[in-house]
Structure 1
């Protein structure tokens, strides 16, 4: 079945569930999980996420899993798009409100907002992350998975790193060994976004309007999310990719904003180093796939300096 016919069939299902007669699906750029579309119907605009036809609804293609966490967070202090329709008939899909706002990662994206606005947004979403981590993981309908333990999280990303050719991950072996030797005790598990950063939070002005891209949410130690979030505060972590933005909050300032007067979090340096190791593993994986011809993307050739910087700074953090 051609892509056009598949889109037409999906559009018919969406219109029927929304109770409207008109509206066509348009591919929405930026979506990396399943298929992502927008549709104008009944005087409103929606985002539709669907399982690709012929593929199993697992991993990033399990869009109905995203619908569960969004529905569980509806009306909570964590801003998310409202889910308006769910259809588990194969291929499954769900529709949610089209949230207003823009998602700009200050150190990686082209300038589009002032430093003052970027600073306010980063501080504001640190508070959002704290509220997310305060969410009851027993919320009705969430069907939360078993918690990730810290050692298991390290082993999962170490496997990804070990699959990257050694020449693309200088001194990563030593870093993984250091992390494995110093695994900290875990904190009580919380709801995790998995890729929490300003690039995944829509904002209107300085106000966060919606946390998006929930394809890898899980339950685990809150410092896993925190270590990843803090990584994006410093352009020095992204040679040839990032840009200097004087005036942005430091990692320490963002951590203080997250704590909001609460007690210090133990072993945060270990989780900051883990975040850098994860980023190096992801980039090394993507670069390897490009060089093997599995996913042609010449921009991946810009990654080696950043991979090396991630590994180097992670080792420096660990002392």
Structure 2
């Protein structure tokens, strides 16, 4: 018997497919929806073992028509990344199985092991977490996989940028002019491409004597090859929107303090930082929803749009 709420229910064909990868004598006793994702439905599966214990798996399924269309490439990227990262020291889930074309289930899916820890999106404790995020990203960029992933794709162009309501039109026009120029030359690195607090798991002990530690980095569907600046830019934008523009500026400093190397000139750094930030212009509501589900109810679309506008202006002032 599967004990679940409606939101956590797994569709029958997919459930049968998952069952093929359980060990002898195991059975799924509970399924729970995991909130916080944007592109896919995520579920934690509780598995009763033959010996009377339990273990957990995580199921990612693409159900939105847009992401179903792109699921094969995305899930194959994630499966490849998880396989390549085994033994590297980067804490990632273990790949159990992948069905990128929904050949065996209702929707394209990937099954992986469950990692301990939780995402931390609150302001409290941020000062201790930022250096950990920076060090983890430096470690990811130091990887040299035997097979490189594909080249990065920009998520914004000068002609696709949508200004948020109330934006400083002069600042945004200047920012758009920056990304209208050709991309600066760069030394390629292995990129997560969506490295940000929502995709990093922490163990945060209740004792004040022990600090937080990272227990996992998840969501590798966008893995690619490109400039370290681009991963730094994406985490910086997310920190700016979650916690304020100053934290977006701070993350690049923390990355360099951790040994990371960014573009040599301020103009090159500005390009990559704005290339990411401007991509959020028309999509703030999409990122706000999982943040509110995680408890940041004060982060309304309007409040985050104001932070994005302030961050773009801060970047131009700091690096322009």
Output the TM-score relative to the length of structure 1.
0.73
How many angstroms does 1:25 deviate by? 3.0
| The 10-residue stretch of structure 1 (123-132 or 49-58) with the greater mean CA deviation from structure 2 | 49-58
> In the alignment, which residue of structure 2 is the partner of 1:32?
38
Change (3 A) 1:12 1:23: farther
> In the alignment, which residue of structure 1 is the partner of 2:22?
18
Change (3 A) 1:40 1:222: same
In 1, distance between residues paired with 2:235 and 2:111? Answer: 28
Deviations 1:120-159 (A, max 9, x none): 43223322212211222434xxx721x23xxx738x3434
> In the alignment, which residue of structure 2 is the partner of 1:196?
195
Change (3 A) 1:59 1:165: farther
Aligned length: 286
Change (3 A) 1:164 1:125: closer
Gaps of 5+ in 2: 1-5, 205-211, 289-296
- Aligned-partner SS, 1:37: strand
8 A Cα contact 2:28 2:45, kept in partner? no
Q: How does 1:38-53 map to 2 (within 5 A)?
A: 38-41=44-47, 42=49, 43-52=54-63
- Aligned-partner SS, 1:104: coil
Q: How does 1:155-194 map to 2 (within 5 A)?
A: 156-161=156-161, 163-164=162-163, 168=167, 170-171=169-170, 172-181=172-181, 183-187=183-187, 189-194=188-193
8 A Cα contact 2:77 2:222, kept in partner? no
Gaps of 5+ in 1: 291-296
- Aligned-partner SS, 1:52: coil
How many angstroms does 1:53 deviate by? 8.0
Deviations 1:230-283 (A, max 9, x none): 4456xxx44xx636999x9944640333326xx674135643563345334314
> In the alignment, which residue of structure 2 is the partner of 1:133?
141
Change (3 A) 1:61 1:32: farther
In 2, distance between residues paired with 1:125 and 1:299? Answer: 25
Query: Could you list the runs of 4 or more consecutive aligned residues of structure 1 that deviate by over 4 angstroms after TM superposition?
Result: 2-6, 163-169, 243-246, 287-290
> In the alignment, which residue of structure 2 is the partner of 1:255?
255
> In the alignment, which residue of structure 2 is the partner of 1:293?
none
> In the alignment, which residue of structure 2 is the partner of 1:81?
93
Tell whether 2:317 aligns with 1:305.
no
In 1, distance between residues paired with 2:223 and 2:263? Answer: 22
8 A Cα contact 1:57 1:63, kept in partner? no
- Aligned-partner SS, 2:45: strand
> In the alignment, which residue of structure 1 is the partner of 2:130?
122
Cα RMSD over matched residues?
3.8
Q: How does 1:64-103 map to 2 (within 5 A)?
A: 64-88=76-100, 89-90=102-103, 91-103=107-119
Change (3 A) 1:15 1:183: closer
How many angstroms does 1:45 deviate by? 0.6
How many angstroms does 1:165 deviate by? 7.1
- Aligned-partner SS, 1:58: helix
In 2, distance between residues paired with 1:85 and 1:53? Answer: 21
In 2, distance between residues paired with 1:21 and 1:288? Answer: 35
8 A Cα contact 1:34 1:52, kept in partner? yes
Output the TM-score relative to the length of structure 2.
0.73
8 A Cα contact 1:127 1:258, kept in partner? yes
Change (3 A) 1:186 1:53: closer
8 A Cα contact 1:164 1:281, kept in partner? no
> In the alignment, which residue of structure 1 is the partner of 2:264?
266
